[in-house]
Amino acid sequence: MTEQPAGQGMLPPLVESKLLPPRSRTGLVDRPRVVHLLDGADGAALTLLSAPTGYGKTIAVRAWCDERSTAFAWITLDAGDNDPLRLWTYVATAVNRIRDGVGRAALQRLGKAEVAIEFVIDDLANGIGSFGEPLVVVVDELHLVDDTTALSSFEHFIERLPSNARVLALTRTDPPIQLGRHRGRGALVELRAAELAFSVSEAQELLVDRGQIALTGGEVEVLVARTEGWPAGLYLAALWLRGHDNPGEGAREFAGSHRHVVGYLSGEVLEDLDSDMRSFLLRSSVLGRFTAQLCDAVLERTDSAETLATIERRNLFLVPLDGHGNWFRYHALFAELLALELAANDPGAAPDLHRRASTWFEERGLIVEAAEHAGLAGDHMFVANLLIRSHLQLHLRPATFLRWVETLPDEILVEHPLLPAIAAIQAGRAARPPHERRRFLALADRARAEHPERFGPHIDAAVAVTRVGWIDRNLGEALRYGLDAIKALKKSGDPSPLFVPLAAGLSHTLYLAGELDEAGGFARAAADHPDAPQREAGYAVALAVLALVAAEQGRVTTARVHVDAAASLIRENGLKTDWVGGIVASALAVVFREEGELSQAEREAETAESIRRTQGACVELAWTLVLSAGIQSRRGRLVEARSTLEEAHEILGELADAGRIGALVAVAEAELADALETAAAGELLEQPTEAELAVLRLLASDLTLNQIANELFLSVNTIKTHRRVLYRKLGVNSRTEAIARAGVLELISPESPG
């Protein structure tokens, strides 16, 4: 483990071996073809080395780095890096070690309670760009990351990479990113099994020149053909042939399939070991990466350091992972064999070993690694208890928390109600489909019915945060959940970290219900709470609700102060596209509307609408549509406003309780009907010309007269003349009236620029 980088007080310790390149090796076969390909890829943002295990990807890149003066950062991934926060903590830390400060901004942002990974990556790319000198970021074992969000963030990094840097990604399988697009842009160079396979001359150097094995050129060619140049297969063949009475005959008998190689390892390596060494190898193989201390704890012995030193001296496929000889793993193929042997000889051993490893990692604050081993133990109760103990530490890692919760049967979740309660929040934060959030809520409700004694104020608060944060079809029900949970928290005196998001979410629900005074009270309680600065999402919601209440009460200046503070919070913490961003965008739209800035108001309403649409038909979307329709009406976009209100009506039909939204729709429809009647009054005095219609369409946009002139390649005076003629022909006196009349008369379509 290593100390926290600056700005990472909220993040767990790092595994040092993941941040260090593998130990350099001497006596390697020269690979001029591979070196040439790596050198030639200098202009590409991404160099992908994609080949099965044993193709020497790591060794080749490590040797290439050693021969270059270019700075390089090396990160070795594992399955726990499916969490984007964990992934970019390691990448930023590795880059920052090249020169302190290069990754500092990214690390500081990662230390915040709420963070958008895209902003972290942008900070990191800016830091790399400011470094100025050539830099290589090596990402080893990329195939172990399969989470779509983590992979999307990796692609974002490639897109943002400055010209002085490149990424070398080492993987056994192609990552599911847009490789075709990168190829087409010339941003991708690929080295695959065909390029990494040993040529006959390289095999000759390995087997004959360095290995001193008596083989003819033809026999070397046979081995290359049978192994298909697989470097690990050739290396294993060399070990075997050194002890063969007739190397030429052995070369002809040797097969390159993994099955034969495994047979060799089992028969020629494991059988020659004493029982203690064999037991150590088999039992330590379940650990993946390990240290002597971890082996001592898990295997219940005290001599692991000496045993590992012996294994390394005997060349038993032990791979050092750092330059200090602290962390190791076994060659992948050898590890697979050891795992098979352990399962055959002692079927119940692996789960118990994983449990001990999980405990060891948890004691050291390495919760992700602890969760990985807990899951591999196959013991659902063990996993559940670990997640309960660690849910606060995993709060910033919704993907990791959900991944392990989703492995648990419903019965286990019902027996541990905190898990589905927290999982529902995490599903919302991770922007999972609404049905996943509802599933966890249903499990929490079932747990409440079957195990009421296991519910407490903290669990009630967790359920209520989801109910008021993501209101589905029943506002009244959400309101009852929120009020009951707040009362329970206050009565118990429980200093729950969920108070701020719960009170803030409840204030928004009360606002939608039309209870403005109560909404303002809970919003103020959340905003003034000592925990508010550390609960950025809840803090932003509370400020947004204070702005909404103030605007509705005519206190526009106060509303502007609150909404600007909320907007600053979500901008600084990467929450603009989160559900919190939807609430703040709605508040901005309302304040801009009250200030008469209808163009900005409409843009913010559109932002809020796009965020709410991810939730499907819900109370928040219905309210946002009413807000949008009102702004469209004020701007003269009467046809669009009518369509927007029709959609709001459809959504209301799917909701059990929408609070005051139905009444707001009725008011908006009445106002729209008056506006349509006014716009339809009078006659079209004269049909506009095509040139005037072109101007009319752009008048329906947000463009200024100067911008319209530039768009149509006309002078501003000509545009003013067209506008004056249009007003006369339409019988109107303003741009808004012209847009409204033109829409009713179908002179412009709703698709006109807006």
**What are the pLDDT digits (tens) for 119-144?**
999 999 999 999 999 999 999 999 99
Q: Helix crossing, 579-594 with 556-572: angle to 10°?
A: 150
How far, in Å, CA of 508 to CA of 564, rounded? 17
**What is the per-residue pLDDT across 275-316, written as a single tens digit (0 to 9) for each?**
999 999 999 999 999 999 999 999 999 999 999 988 887 767
| Residue-level pLDDT at 259 | 54
How far, in Å, CA of 107 to CA of 238, rounded? 46
Q: What average pLDDT does the segment 595-621 reach?
A: 88
Q: Which residue has tokens 């009406």?
A: 633
Tokens encoding 373? 């081993």
| Residue-level pLDDT at 585 | 94
**What is the per-residue pLDDT across 691-714, written as a single tens digit (0 to 9) for each?**
787 877 887 777 888 888 888 887
| Residue-level pLDDT at 11 | 55
| Residue-level pLDDT at 368 | 83
pLDDT at 560 over 80: yes
**C-alpha dihedral (373, 376, 380, 381), degrees to nearest 10:** -30
Q: What average pLDDT does the segment 538-555 reach?
A: 96
Question: pLDDT above 70 covers what percent of the chain?
Answer: 93
How far, in Å, CA of 394 to CA of 367, rounded? 8
pLDDT at 114 over 90: no
Mean pLDDT, the chain, rounded, equals 86
Binned at pLDDT 50, 70 and 90, residue 525 comes out as very high
Segment among 122-136, 384-398, 461-475, 618-632 with least mean pLDDT: 384-398
Cβ count within 10 A of residue 685? 9
| Residue-level pLDDT at 685 | 64
Q: What average pLDDT does the segment 729-749 reach?
A: 73
**What is the per-residue pLDDT across 60-77, written as a single tens digit (0 to 9) for each?**
999 999 888 899 999 999
Residue length of the chain = 754
Greatest CA separation found in the chain? 108
| Residue-level pLDDT at 332 | 72
Half-sphere exposure of 656 (CA within 13 A, CB side): 8
Tokens encoding 205? 């150097």
| Residue-level pLDDT at 730 | 74
Half-sphere exposure of 142 (CA within 13 A, CB side): 31
Kindly report the backbone phi and psi dihedral angles of residue 618, in degrees, each rounded to the nearest multiple of 5, phi listed first.
-155, 165
Q: What single-letter amino acid sits at 639?
A: V
Kindly report the backbone phi and psi dihedral angles of residue 190, in degrees, each rounded to the nearest multiple of 5, phi listed first.
-120, 135
First to last CA, the chain: 55
How far, in Å, CA of 712 to CA of 374, rounded? 66
**What is the per-residue pLDDT across 340-395, written as a single tens digit (0 to 9) for each?**
889 888 988 999 999 999 999 989 888 888 888 988 888 899 889 989 988 877 76
Instruction: Output the 3-class SS for 487-556.
Output: HHHHHHCCCCCCHHHHHHHHHHHHHHHCCHHHHHHHHHHHHHCCCHHHCHHHHHHHHHHHHHHHHHCCCH
| Residue-level pLDDT at 9 | 45
pLDDT at 5 over 70: no
